[in-house]
Amino acid sequence: MTQHSQNGWPVLTRSELTWFTAAGERFAAANADVSYVADYLITRFNAEVEPIEGKVLDDWSWDSRKVTGSRTTISNHASATAWDLNATKHPRGVKGTFSKAKTAAVRRILADIKADNGHHIFRWGNDYTSSPIDSMHFEINATEAQVKQARAILEDDMKWGDKIKLTAVDAKVWGSGYKAGDEVTYGLMMRYPTLARKTEKELAAFIAASAKRDAAISAQLDALTQAVAALAAGSSTDVAKAFDEGLARFQSEIAKAKAAD
């Protein structure tokens, strides 16, 4: 029997998650529509409220667990429909961690993420009344159909030419020519997000390292082949000399391969 989190969404395993990158950090979502609206929220939060710092135990999404303090209710984190942002700045149970200006900015963002009937897709932990205030926490408070509607509305509103500011993490991964605060188009960020750039760089580095190792192995085999040929055709003196030379080359290539690693 499928378990459901507090908001009615199915609990997921790690293999079922949809991953996305926002504000230079990696987050999980329940599906592609959820990742879209969460990406929109996090990106705007980073640009309009405060930078997402991305420290260890500061920003997270999926976590298979119960609601803090409950033995029965499953957390919305377990369905990948909740995200905690700048947790160390906004600890659970502490009021007033956002200024009035920042609170107003958050509410403007949340008001823009809505279904066809105007229903707000996200609930903010800052507004909890029946449980401890949790200002770091944002969770889906809508059905799958409503989330899909909200995505369609945002896609209509967001133009490919609209600008998004790069975070320090984005700029580092994107490489030469980019720095924190540079603006890129929304279309470029969506087509080629930071996580994809990071993966491409890691793959290129792996391919380059593999090519070096392949070249070293090829040189080692050449040395062995020459030694074996000398063994088959030469005198004992020639064989000894060939083996000494071949062994020296073989050891040299091994040293080069280790240095390359």
- Confidence at residue 190, expressed as pLDDT on a 0 to 100 scale: 63
Element (H, E) at 122: strand 122-124
- Determine the average pLDDT of the residues in 52-80: 85
pLDDT at 257 over 70: no
**CB proximity list for 258: less than 8 A, separation 6 or greater:** none
- Confidence at residue 2, expressed as pLDDT on a 0 to 100 scale: 83
**CB proximity list for 5: less than 8 A, separation 6 or greater:** 11, 74, 75, 76, 77, 78, 79, 81
Residue 205 C-alpha from the chain's centroid: 19
- Confidence at residue 191, expressed as pLDDT on a 0 to 100 scale: 61
pLDDT band at residue 222 using 50, 70 and 90 as cut-offs: confident
- Determine the average pLDDT of the residues in 233-253: 69
- Confidence at residue 125, expressed as pLDDT on a 0 to 100 scale: 96
% of the chain residues with pLDDT over 90: 47
Q: What is the pLDDT of residues 16-30, one digit of tens each?
A: 999 998 888 889 999
SS3 call for 94: coil
Mean pLDDT value across the chain: 84
Q: What is the pLDDT of residues 196-220, one digit of tens each?
A: 666 667 777 777 777 777 777 777 7
Task: Give the type of residue at 89.
Answer: K
pLDDT band at residue 235 using 50, 70 and 90 as cut-offs: low
- Confidence at residue 102, expressed as pLDDT on a 0 to 100 scale: 96
- Confidence at residue 31, expressed as pLDDT on a 0 to 100 scale: 97
Q: What is the pLDDT of residues 97-149, one digit of tens each?
A: 999 999 999 999 999 999 999 999 999 999 999 889 999 999 999 999 999 99
- Confidence at residue 78, expressed as pLDDT on a 0 to 100 scale: 96
Q: What is the pLDDT of residues 164-191, one digit of tens each?
A: 788 787 788 777 788 888 888 766 776 6
Give the span between the Cα atoms of 197 and 209, in whole angstroms.
18
- Confidence at residue 106, expressed as pLDDT on a 0 to 100 scale: 97
Give the span between the Cα atoms of 215 and 211, in whole angstroms.
6
Please count the CA atoms within 13 angstroms of the CA of 191 that sit on its side-chain side: 7
**CB proximity list for 62: less than 8 A, separation 6 or greater:** 12, 14, 17, 28, 77, 78, 80
